[in-house]
Amino acid sequence: MDRTITIQRFTSTVDDFGTPVEIWTDLVTIRAQQVQTSTDEFIRGYGASDETVIVFRTWWRAGITNADRIVYAGDAFNIKETKEIGRRNGLELRCQRLA
């Protein structure tokens, strides 16, 4: 567990003028292990694009879903998949870098 990641959740608040504001708020900052990183290039309708996928392993933490995201090394990553390791011993998070 040699990396530090921050898990964020999308929340909605109201500003001073009564307008709803949707922001990402920090849920927890935890230690994790970077298991795998890969970058693939795809040809799309708007041209070529790169897609970076990264997999983190961390200690078990209840309540983390695909609606959350991870901030690591200044980049935001969408959580695409969560897997339980053992009987709630750990958690594997498969993420994709946000464009």
Residue 64 dihedral angles phi and psi, to the nearest 5°: -80, 130
CATH number for position 84: 2.40.10.370
User: What are the pLDDT digits (tens) for 36-53?
Assistant: 776 655 455 555 556 788
pTM (whole model) above 0.75? yes
pLDDT confidence of residue 50: 67
pLDDT confidence of residue 4: 96
Number of structural domains found in the chain:
1
Distance CA 47, CA 3 (A): 34
Stretches where the chain sits below pLDDT 70 are: 38-50, 99
pLDDT confidence of residue 52: 81
- Helix (H) / strand (E) element for 27: namely strand 20-44
12 three-state secondary structure: strand
pLDDT confidence of residue 13: 87
Domain range for residue 22? 3-97
Residue ranges of the alpha helices (H) in 15-83?
Answer: none
